[in-house]
Amino acid sequence: MSNIPADGLWLYSFNTRSAYDKINRAIQAKKFYTTLPKKLDIAQEEWLKSQPVEKSQIIETEIGTFSNDGWSISKSHKAFTDD
């Protein structure tokens, strides 16, 4: 007679881990997933700090004085040197 029921689930399983090992693994998993978001935030902040700061690529040009005839302001963007 087989220990496998009709739906394919096992009734018995063999496991060499002790109850202490199972509990300890559950505790360690809980600690890991509890602290993971904070660790990811810290890693992201450190990575962002290590990235070079780019200068602004926008060029603003103002001609004349504000609220006077002939006043204009224009914005343009520097061309990229690398694709």
pLDDT band at 75 (very low <50, low <70, confident <90, very high): confident
CA distance 21 to 34: 20
Strand partners, 72: 63
pTM for the full predicted model = 0.44
Q: What is the pLDDT of residue 1?
A: 44
pLDDT digits (tens, 9 = 90+) for 11-35: 676 778 888 999 999 999 999 999 9
Secondary structure of 9-41 as H, E, C letters: CCCCCCCCCCHHHHHHHHHHHHHHHHHHHHHHH
